[in-house]
Amino acid sequence: MATTVTQNGQITLPKAVRDHLGLTPGSQVDFRQTADGSVVLLRADHASQIDRFEKLRGHAGAGPNTDTVIAATRGEP
CATH of the domain at 8: 2.10.260.10
- 69 confidence band (pLDDT: 50, 70, 90): confident
CA 39 to chain centre: 10
Encode pLDDT of 2-48 as tens digits: 899 999 999 999 999 999 988 888 889 989 898 899 999 988 876 55
Asked if the structure places residue 51 within a domain, the reply is yes
Which residue range forms the structural domain that includes residue 6? 1-59
Count of the separate structural domains present in the chain: 1
Q: How confident is the model at residue 1 (pLDDT cuts 50, 70, 90)?
A: confident
Rounded Cα distance between 24 and 29, Å, is 11
Q: Does 46 fall in a domain?
A: yes
| Strand duo 29-33 + 39-43: pairing | antiparallel
Higher pLDDT, 6 or 64: 6
* pLDDT computed for residue 54 by the predictor: 66
- Output the pTM of the full model: 0.53
Could you tell me if 11 and 4 are in contact, meaning their C-beta atoms sit under 8 angstroms apart? Answer: yes
More confident residue, 39 or 77: 39
